[in-house]
Structure formats: C-alpha cells, structure tokens
A and B are shown apart, each in its own frame.
Chain A
Amino acid sequence: MQISILLVTLLGMAFVAAAFVFVVLNSGPRDEDYGGIAKRGYFIRRWWMIGLCAAGVVVSAWSLVPFPLQASSVESPRIIQAIGRQWSWELASSSVEAGEPVRFRVTSLDVNHGFAIYGPDDQIIAQTQAMPGYYNDLDVTFERAGKYRVLCLEYCGLAHHTMVAEIDVKERR
C-alpha cells in the first residue's frame, strides 16, 4: 500500500513541478499584454479550482465511507490488551492465528506511545496511539503467518527506539 501511496504522491508532485518548469521556461520574452495573460489564466484557474473541488468530493466520499476508524463489523473479535510503558510493551497475548479478527485494546501507563504493527516485510500494517487514561481499539486481521513486530511510533524518551514487542502469527489450524 505504501508504495502505491508514494507513486500517487510523486505523480501529483510531478504535475505541480511541470507547471512551474513550464512557466519558468516561458518567463520571457516579455508580453506587455498582461490583461490578456490574466484573462486566460483566470479561465484555467476556474477549471483548476472546479477540478480540485470535484476530486476532493470524490476522494473524500471514497475514503470516508465507510468510516475507516470504526470498529470492524466482526461480532466478537479476540480482544488483546496492549499496555505501553517506558520502554516496553505488555501484550496480554503475543500469539494469534492468521485470519483471526483481533481487537487490540491499547493504553499507556505513563506517557504517550505509538502502537504500530509491522508486518514480516517490515511495513506498517496498522497503528494507533497509546495514551494514559484512554483505551484505543485497533482492529486487525493478520492475513499471513509470520513474525510481526510492535514498535513505538510516538517519541517517549531515551530508549524510545528500543520499545519493541513481537507477535507470532501462526497458520490457521
């Protein structure tokens, strides 16, 4: 997913860059009729604005319905309590089955932490914040068996980068 996000981003950035390169390359010779340039510019700008707004509506609808942070429709996921503290994770269980819906109930005993699950390919698959005084429910269904890791993604002090836990995802029996 992340690589697709990167490619879409680079495409959008290349479009903006192309507009700038075009204008810089066409910055001369001087055209004294700025009124004419402005008129054409405002015409393009109107459609540019309409296009951006239309894209915004489509992308928002596509990405917000259904609301991505809602707990999944699974009736009774397996609940695993995850507690962060400087500088370790305490998971009620570190073993799950592939395909099994799991709800991590995440909190912290001291400062803010970030509960990020990394897949066997070292890519983040999901995350939430671990906050003192709050529980954040993170629904995950591990698709593949393997070693997953939980890293802290909210800076929490000296050994922040060492705050790692492992989740062993086994093949479904």
Chain B
Amino acid sequence: MTASELEYATPDTQRTPVVKLYLGIGLLVFAGLMLVGALMRAAQGATTISIGPEVFYQLMTLHGAGMVGTAGLAALAVNWYFLSKYVRLNQKIFLGTLVLSLVAVVMIVGSILIGKFAAGWTFLYPLPATSLGLWSKGAALTFVGGLLLLGVAFLLVYLDMGIAIVRRYGSIARALGLPMLFGREPIDPTHPPAVVASAMVLIVNVAGIAAGAIVLIMTILHLIYPPLAPDALLMKNLIYFFGHVFINATIYSAVIAVYEILPLYARRPWTVSRPFLAAWLAVTLMVLAVYPHHLLMDFAMPSWMAIMGQILSYTSGIPVLVVTAFSGLMLVYRSGIRWDAASSLLVLSLFGWAVGIVPAVIDGMINVNLVMHNTLWVPGHFHFYLLLGLLPMVLGFASYLSANGQQGRTGRVGAMVYAVGATLLCLSFLVSGALSVPRRFAVHEESWQWLGDVGALSGGIVLVGTLMIAVPILLKLPRARLASISESG
C-alpha cells in the first residue's frame, strides 16, 4: 500500500472486531434458521413431525425475515471489511448498525413468537391488517416497525460508506468506474473491484430501502387508521422492488469476498477492465429495473412492464455468467490453487450463483411463469442463489478470516457435505415446482409429501455441513488475526 492509500484506509485495529461480531451472530442465526427450514419441510413431508398451520406460518415468516435480514447483515460485514481496506470507515457507526439491527430482530422475533404475526416476510399489503383474529394490530405494527428499524440501520452505515467513498474517489460514479468505462480516464488496473461493487450496492440498496421505508410507513398508517387504504397494486410494486433489490444487494455485497480472497489463493490478480466495469454498470441498472418479473401474474400491470421483466431477467444473468463466474473460473484454471475450506466454499459460491440463474431466467419467462409462479420452483431458484451462492461466500470469508481458510480435513469435508445437501435441497424444490407443488403451504397433499421428506433430509445434511464449517470458526473467531496478503496464498 502506498502512503496515500494508508492515509485513506481504516486502521487495521478497527477493521476486524465488529466484523467478527457480525459473523459470529450471523453464523449462529443461519444455523438456527436452517433448522427451522428443515422442520418446515419435515412438516410438509408429514412422516416425522407434525406442525399446525398456525405455528407453520409463524415459522415461515421467521425463516424468511430472519434469513433475509441475516443475509443482509452478513453480506454487509463482508462489504464493510473489504471496503475498509480502501476507505476510512467509522467502526462506531458499523457497531451502531449492528445494535439497531439487534433491536429490530428482537421486535421481529417477538412479534412472531409472542404476537403470532404470520403474514410472511414480504408482509404483502393488506394481509398484515387482515389476519381474521390470528394476530393483533400491535403484533403487525411491531413486525413492520422492526423491518423499518432494520432499514434505518442499513441506511446509517451506507451513509458512512458513501461519504468515505466520495472522500477517496470524488464521487460514487467514479468509484463505480464510469469515467474509465466511458474513456474519460484511462483504465486503472489498481482500482479495486471491491470499491466498484460497493458503489453499486450503495446505489441500488439505498433506492431499495427507501422504497421499503415508504411501503412500511404506508402499512403502519393503514394499520393505525384502516380507512387510509393505499392501492394494493402500488404497494405490491413497492414491496417487490424493495425485496428484489435488497436480496440482490446482499449477493453483490458478499461477492466481494470472492474478488478479494480467490486471487490470493490463485496467486493471480482480479483487476478491473472495461468489460468488468460495463458489467457492473449493467447490473446496477438491471437490478433496479427487473423487479416486474415478480408481477407477471398481475395482468393489471402494463404489458410493457411484463415484457421488460422477462427480457431483463434474462439479460441480468449475463454479467454473472460472462464476467464474474467466467473470470473466477479463468483465475482458478491451471493456478495450482490450494483447496481448503475457504477456497472450496468461494468456488462453490460462484457455482451456486451461476447455476441458479438457469431456473430463475426460465421462470422469468411469462409463458413459464403461468404454470410455475408461486410453486416451489421459486424457492428452488433462490435457494441456489442464496444457500449455494451467498452463504458459501460468507462462510468462505469467515473461514479465511478466522483460520486463513485452513480448517483441515473437517473443513474440507464440511464444505463437501454442505454442497451435496444444498444441491439436493434445491433440486428437490425444483422437482416439486415442476410437479406444481405450491409454495407456502402448511399442509401438503399425500402425493407431494415424499418431496417434503427429501427436502427435510437435504436440509438436515446442509445443517450438518454448516456446523462442521461454522463451529470451528466460531471457536477461533474471537482470537483470530487475519493473515495479511503476503502471508496467504
């Protein structure tokens, strides 16, 4: 690092402590919510356990809200850690975000487990206010308020990240590499991919969370004063815009771990280039514009939005398949890479993300959506992205942070167990979708139940793999000191 780079970077002593807190809490919550997921599939299988619909839908809400929130926080930790290498970030604000998020988690969990709130994590208006006596207005307000607080927590840290980026790079557009892309500045191969990704995440997620805040406040107002009833289609648009952007931003945050760590293993650089910058500009725009593919079955939507949704669903997969996954494979090919837990998980994450694009793009076709929408096909494709994409990015990062990736045989076997279980689980979802099994059903018909059992078994295998990787990390994490670049690889 040059002297000027050191001047901008966050001091080393401040980079890891709070990140470790995020990861420690995140891994524990992930494991707990995986158990909830496996229990739900087992209940749908009806062979081993039975869960009543009331509890099932509470668990479904808990699993969804918990996984999305935890994925957001864990991915934020990855993003913050690597961005802090290049810009000076405020550790106290980062800690403040965690504290606010934990308060939000208490509100969300309390509203579900005590208040029996069960409208799903997407809180699709007007369901939170229309429970037919199942949950109270107070429970709904607490849940929605918790989500709002979580959004505020994210905006707080994004503000700090944005200011730090502007201080170092002059503007968010420059951090995204737009002057280089459009030839106003020469390509600077030292411009970090982590900064480009951070700029993209800031742009899309601030917009996404702002839309989320609007719809959450409108929901709160409706709960307090029911005659104030916003248009249901407008609310649906806002909810899916927020949800789509937020969950995509988690993947684009977490992929920074791949950009930063995989080159150390491969001993090859992952530098920015014009196609790389073009790809990131394209995903910035497409992540913001593609959400109508969630509304293809709302025929009241304008036709052009449905067409745009289908086309952008396809095109938004191209940067991942052509740039990120392909570049990752090029980096690994004939590199003599050391295969340990971290490197295996990071390559697995690229696989999960890339392969998940196939069922997602196919479901994004209107003709296919007519028979696949809201079947288990949908969790099939997003579990590929998240369980086989995002989570291995986080686990790979945590493994690298705590043990320089060297978790021995247990870590390598754990990664393999995880990969097998997660692939089986995702495939069981896709097969279920192809057999028209609905998503979000507490009770499955007899002919569908074997798939629930397969899902539960696969989920159990994923949990075992996760614990094999995560428990040693959690034990080492408090005292871990990250290896510097020169020590690794």
Contacts and interface: CB of A to CB of B under 8 A. Distances in A.
Interface stretch (A21-29, A72-80, A90-98, A165-173): A21-29
A113 B23 CA distance: 38
A63 B132 contact: no
Contact of A60 (B311, B358, B374): B311
Nearest to A155: B440
Interface size class of A (residues with CB under 8 A): 35 or more
Nearest to B122: A155
Given A69-B306, A128-B297, A131-B298, A24 B359 contact: no
Interface string A49-87: 100110010011001100111100000000000000010
Nearest to B116: A158
A2 B124 contact: no
Interface string B48-83: 000001100100100000000000000000000000
A128 B370 CA distance: 8
Contact of B366 (A6, A10, A69, A122): A69
Contacts, number: 221
Given A134-B233, A155-B120, A157-B131, A124 B371 contact: yes
A30 B53 contact: no
B476 interface: no
Given A48-B322, A68-B366, 10 more contacts: A2-B371, A3-B434, A16-B357, A48-B326, A49-B318, A63-B366, A86-B132, A114-B373, A155-B127, A157-B127
- Give me the 10 closest cross-chain CB pairs, A-B, nearest first: A30-B336, A31-B334, A6-B434, A153-B374, A12-B358, A136-B299, A41-B330, A155-B440, A161-B441, A134-B300
Interface of A: 1-3, 5-6, 8-10, 12-13, 16-17, 19-20, 23-24, 26-31, 34, 37-38, 41, 45, 48-49, 52-53, 56, 59-60, 63-64, 67-70, 86, 110-112, 114, 116, 118, 122-129, 131-138, 151, 153-162
16 contacts: A2-B372, A2-B436, A12-B358, A13-B358, A16-B354, A17-B355, A19-B329, A20-B350, A28-B337, A30-B335, A124-B436, A128-B299, A133-B232, A153-B374, A157-B119, A162-B443
